[in-house]
Amino acid sequence: MQKIRHTPVAPTRTQRLESGGEIDAHRHDDHQIVYASHGIVAVTTDAGSWVAPATRAIWIPAGTVHRHQAHGELDLHLVGLPATDNPLGLAQPAVLAVSPLLRELIVAYTRTPEEESPRRRRLRAVMLDQLTTSPEQPLHLPTPTDPLLRELHDILRADPADNRSLPELGRQIGAGARTLSRRLGADLGLTYPQWRTQIRLHHALVLLADDTPVTVVAHRCGWSSASTFIDVFRRTFGHTPGSRS
């Protein structure tokens, strides 16, 4: 059984991780903001995975057991906040939009984590104020609890380009499409196309972090063309795959 490290105070710091590098499962008594100014960071809990490029940050509530993984060379910025500081009132992990101003505030705040001064307190106050205007983004890839959905999840994660219909996949795992659709709605609150798109987008972010060409990413993730992939990516993330910073 994996030992879960407990660090009461969530650290505020910058950290560089090589592509594929990890921070093992741990938890804090504080909230934490996780932001990658370069590369893609993935945060995984028992409830699922959250992936964020440089235009997004991940909110991790106090007490949540989580681990980090780097995709691409990662410049990671960690901001610890006391459990009393929860600007958005979020009780679950979430992906937040990061404006250019909030990006600079996070980077500046984590650059000198040991400094304690009136200037730093003002910086923190402005950062918390900006967080209140950071909308939550639908970038959570939930982990199914239903055994049939877990089988389906493993198939789609292994090959996001698998374009088989739900009835076709259902025949592989011995379940009808109606049963799977009903369980998807009850377990994850998603339709099959929505879930498959989420899986594909998460995989696309990982490939992009390794500088995979956009046309190759589109093909490996199951989109019929690069233009279709770019359109879905832009609508989800607010920018094109080629402008991730």
pLDDT digits (tens, 9 = 90+) for 85-122: 888 888 888 888 899 999 999 999 998 776 778 888 89
On whether residue 16 sits in a domain, the answer given is yes
In a domain, 242, yes or no: no
8 A C-beta contact, residue 233 and residue 204: yes
Residue 152 main-chain phi, psi, to 5 deg: -65, -40
Strands 31-45 and 140-142: unpaired
189-211: pLDDT as tens digits: 889 999 999 899 988 988 887 78
Residue 151 has pLDDT above 70, yes or no: yes
Give the pLDDT of residue 102. Answer: 94
Q: What is the distance between the alpha carbons of residues 197 and 18, in angstroms, rounded to a whole number?
A: 28
Mean pLDDT across the stretch 214-243? 88
Q: Do both 116 and 155 map to the same domain?
A: no
- 20 and 83 share a domain? yes
**Residue 2 above 70 pLDDT?**
no
What pLDDT does 181 receive? 94
- Tokens 């007490």 sit on residue: 63
Amino acid 167: pLDDT: 95
150: CATH: 1.10.10.60
Same domain, residue pair 128 and 10? yes
Q: Is 23 left (phi over 0), alpha (psi -120 to 50) or beta?
A: beta
Mean pLDDT of the chain: 87
Cβ-contact 99, 70 below 8 angstroms:
no
Indicate the residue type of 33. I
> In the chain, which residue ranges form alpha helices assigned H by DSSP?
100-111, 118-131, 147-158, 166-173, 177-187, 192-209, 214-220, 226-237
| Rounded Cα–Cα distance for residues 226 and 206 (Å) | 17
**Residues 135 and 149 both lie in one domain:** no
Whole-number pLDDT of residue 1 = 45
Structure-block tokens of residue 84:
């009393």
Shared domain check, 125 and 41: yes
Residues 86 and 167 in one domain: no
Question: What is the domain extent for residue 207?
Answer: 144-237
The answer as to whether 245 is a domain residue is no
Q: How far apart are the first and last CA of the chain?
A: 38
Domain assignment present for residue 101? The answer is yes
Cβ–Cβ under 8 Å, residues 31 and 8: no
Cβ pair 37, 70 in contact under 8 A: no
**How many structural domains compose the chain?**
2
Please compute the mean of the pLDDT values over residues 161-183 and round it to a whole number. 94
Same domain for 104 and 171: no
Cβ(140)–Cβ(60) below 8 Å: no
Largest CA distance in the chain: 64
Specify whether 194 is located in the same domain as 118. no
| Residue 54 confidence (pLDDT) | 82
